[in-house]
Amino acid sequence: MTQYAICTDLNRCVGCMSCNASCKLINSVPIGNFWNKVLRIGPNPAYEGAVFPDVEWYYLPVQCQHCKDAECIKVCPTEASHKLADGTVQIDKEKCIGCQFCVMSCPYGVRYLNKEERVVEKCTLCEQTTSQGGLPQCVSQCVGMAKWFGDTDKGIETFEGPEDYTGKRRVLGDYVEKYTDDDLHQLPNVGNNPSFVYILRGKKWQGSIE
C-alpha cells in the first residue's frame, strides 16, 4: 500500500504564499481559483483571558487532502474522480461532465469548476512530477522548509524536502524540531480520512478551517 501525502510544519510556515504562487504558475490555475491556499488562523488569545498584544496565530496551507476514503469519488457519476495506486485522488477530464457533485461533497472546499473547459479541477499533488520521483511544486518551492512529501505508510519522519547543498534531499525526521504525537493534527475528518498531516507545537490547534 502507498499513500502519498504532505506533512506541513506549521511552526515553520511564514505565510509567504510561495507554495500558492508556484502551484498556480506550474499548473496554469485560472485567476480566482486555487489548488493551494494559505489561511491565517487567528489572531487568538495566547492564553486564557489574554488581550492584544498577547495573541498568537499560525498559517495553514490547505489543498486537496488526497483522502483515503474520499467522498468526491463516491459521488462521481462517471468515475472521473478516482484513486491511483500511489493513493492520490485524480480527475480524468475526459470523463468529467462538470456536474460538480464532487465540489459539493468536498469538506475542504478545494475543488472548483473550470468554466472554460467545463471540468472540475484541484490539486493533483503534481502527479506528473512525483510519478517520476520528483517533489510536488509546493514542497520544492517552500522557502521556509515547512512542507514535506512522502508515503504515510512509511511514517512522516521519512518524508522528504528539497536537496541540501550536497545535492541530497533533506528528510523530515533529521531536519525539523522535535514533536510529539500531541503536536500532530489533521483537518476535520467526516469519514473521508484525510491523508495530510500538520505539525503544530506550542499553539492551540483550531479544529475547523471555516
For 35-69, the pLDDT digits (tens) are 999 999 999 898 888 888 899 999 999 999 999 99
Cα–Cα dist 61/96, whole Å: 27
Tens digit of each residue's pLDDT (9 = 90 or more) over 125-152: 999 999 999 999 999 999 999 999 999 9
> Is residue 24 predicted with pLDDT exceeding 80?
yes
Q: Identify the pLDDT of residue 208.
A: 62
> Is residue 81 predicted with pLDDT exceeding 90?
yes
For the chain, where are the E strands, in sequence order? 4-9, 36-45, 55-63, 81-83, 89-91, 112-114, 119-121, 147-151, 160-163, 169-171, 184-185, 197-199
Q: Identify the pLDDT of residue 48.
A: 86
pTM: 0.94
Confidence of residue 207 (pLDDT cuts 50, 70, 90): low
Helices (H) and strands (E) in the chain, counts: 6, 12
